[in-house]
Amino acid sequence: MKRETRLYNVMFPLWFLLFFPAAWLVVLPANFLIDLLVLFLVFKLGKMPDIGKNLRSAILKTWLLGFAADLVGGGAMFLGALAGEFLPSPVRQWVYHNVTEAVMLNPFSSVGGFLWTAVCTALAGFLIYLFNRKIALKKAALSDAQKKKAACWLAVLTAPYLFFLPTSLLYF
């Protein structure tokens, strides 16, 4: 009996960007604009000083480090999808049907798939918080409390929620 492993959606939209390189022309500027808007709103609504100066000092790092955090979260999804391959046969089959398949096709189809996707999304969100607090906002003219608040809002609003997108809709 031949074992077949299909990895339809392990790191959406990363696989999409590899197969459709022109999508980068849309994804990169769109992501930049979203990060810029969120950062602007956080500074504005948080009544933080020197919005223009702080935006200029933080936006490029926020944008690039956001991609890095998304890659780590996507990598965790990929490793989770492959983890079942190293388990004993009965466990491997259970993991494949209850976690891997759900992560690849529709995270809402099983509790295990949903939880793994949530953990990976939360990991990326935590890294967005950490990267922004420690690196991107380091030179911003903000207090530590303002940096924490801004980093927290960036993490919540820009986490890779697309990990939850059921890519089975694209195939079936």
- Provide the domain count of the chain: 1
Cβ atoms of residues 9 and 103 within 8 Å? yes
- Report the distance separating Cα 67 and Cα 61, nearest Å: 10
Whether residue 11 lies inside any domain: the answer is: no
Whether residue 141 lies inside any domain: the answer is: yes
Whether residue 93 lies inside any domain: the answer is: yes
Whether residue 159 lies inside any domain: the answer is: yes
pLDDT 10s digits, 30-39: 889 999 999 9
Domain ranges, residue 157: 29-166
Whether residue 56 lies inside any domain: the answer is: yes
pLDDT 10s digits, 104-151: 889 999 999 999 999 999 999 999 999 999 999 999 999 999 999 999
End-to-end, the C-alpha distance of the chain in Å comes to 25
Side chain identity, residue 120: C
Whether residue 4 lies inside any domain: the answer is: no
User: Which residue is listed with tokens 């295990």?
Assistant: 112
Whether residue 147 lies inside any domain: the answer is: yes
Cβ atoms of residues 161 and 8 within 8 Å? no
What are the b/e assignments for 84-119, b being 16+ CB within 10 Å?
beeeeeeebeebbebbbbbbbbbbebbebbbebbee
Whether residue 133 lies inside any domain: the answer is: yes
pTM of the model: 0.84
